[in-house]
Amino acid sequence: MDLFQEKLRQYKERIQEDISERVNFIRSYVENACAKGVVVGISGGIDSSVTAALCLKALGKERVLGIWMPAYSNPVHEKDANALAEAIDLNLVKIDVGPAFDAILPEIEKIEPLNDLQKGNTKARLRMTSLYAIAGQKGYLVADTCNYSEIYVGYMTKGGDGLADFNPVASLTKHQIRMVAKELGIPESIISKPPSADLWVGQTDEQEMGFTYEDLDRYLLTGEGKPEVIEKIEHLHRISEHKRTLMPGI
């Protein structure tokens, strides 16, 4: 059997045990922090869906709040966010950060016009600002939704989705996340949708990274891959190290 598929098969055999460990981790971390609950930014994608479902299993409906934060987002993501809320019985609130983005962009661009990437990162940071305002007011923690595949290559926004209080999916690759999603009853429309950070119209993760999640996960789980793909992955890992460590000081 292909080694990558074998690794996934092995994970499937212990997936219920792994889910239980993650649920226990969430419950313990929140209780030890003396927090009242958890807030999760819901993107309509699979990672935030799995994170929210795990938090619900750990804490119950009344202690988990999902926040959908569009900024001129593709309507399909809002449709999937609502489908998720219905499927897993999640309290979901919509906060449109588009007007805040419209207000701040001209002020920032007094210095220099922003490209699409920096505009997208600004949206991500406005979303995290909103989550922390809500969490602070309610005495909640902010749950991170980045998976291991994204974290390894730095595919997250510093000060945006790369910022939170704890992460219950940090050791799961994208393929493992999909497997967990099926176990947790996440809608198929979310599981099968091309991953996107919703930073600009038509943006997808794989297009931006320059390789597929299968390429990335195969390398992370087995060390295998085409030399040119491995070099791309390791290059992104090297230049994004600052996203995975606390800022240096002197």
Give the model confidence (pLDDT) of 41-57 as tens digits: 999 999 999 999 999 99
Map out the domains of the chain with their CATH numbers.
3-243 (3.40.50.620)
47 is catalytic: yes
Q: Which residues are CB-neighbours of 235 under 8 A, at least 6 positions away?
A: none
User: Which residue type is seen at 46?
Assistant: I
Over the stretch 12-41, which tens digit does the pLDDT of each residue have?
A: 999 999 999 999 999 999 999 999 999 999
Distance CA 180, CA 174 (A): 10
3-state secondary structure 21-73: HHHHHHHHHHHHCCCCEEEEEECCCHHHHHHHHHHHHHHCHHHEEEEECCCCC
145 marked as part of a ligand binding site: yes
Q: How many helices (H) and strands (E) does the chain have?
A: 13, 4
Q: What share of the chain is helix, strand, coil (3-state, %, to 5)?
A: 60, 10, 35
Instruction: Tell me: pLDDT of 198 over 70.
Output: no
Which of 80, 150, 198, 217 does the annotation list as catalytic? 150
150 is catalytic: yes
Query: Please, which pLDDT band fits residue 208 given cuts at 50, 70 and 90?
Result: confident
66 marked as part of a ligand binding site: no
pLDDT given at position 202? 62
3-state secondary structure 170-211: CCCCHHHHHHHHHHCCCCHHHHCCCCCCCCCCCCCHHHHHCC
Tokens of 168: 């219950």
Global confidence as pTM: 0.94
Which of 47, 144, 161, 205 does the annotation list as catalytic? 47
Torsion region of 139: left, alpha or beta (phi above 0 gives left; psi -120 to 50 gives alpha):
left
- In the DSSP assignment, the letter for residue 166 is B
What mean pLDDT is reported for the chain?
A: 95
175 marked as part of a ligand binding site: no
More confident residue, 195 or 224: 224
Distance CA 44, CA 127 (A): 14
89 marked as part of a ligand binding site: no
CB 73 within 8 A of CB 198: yes
pLDDT average, residue stretch 72-93: 96
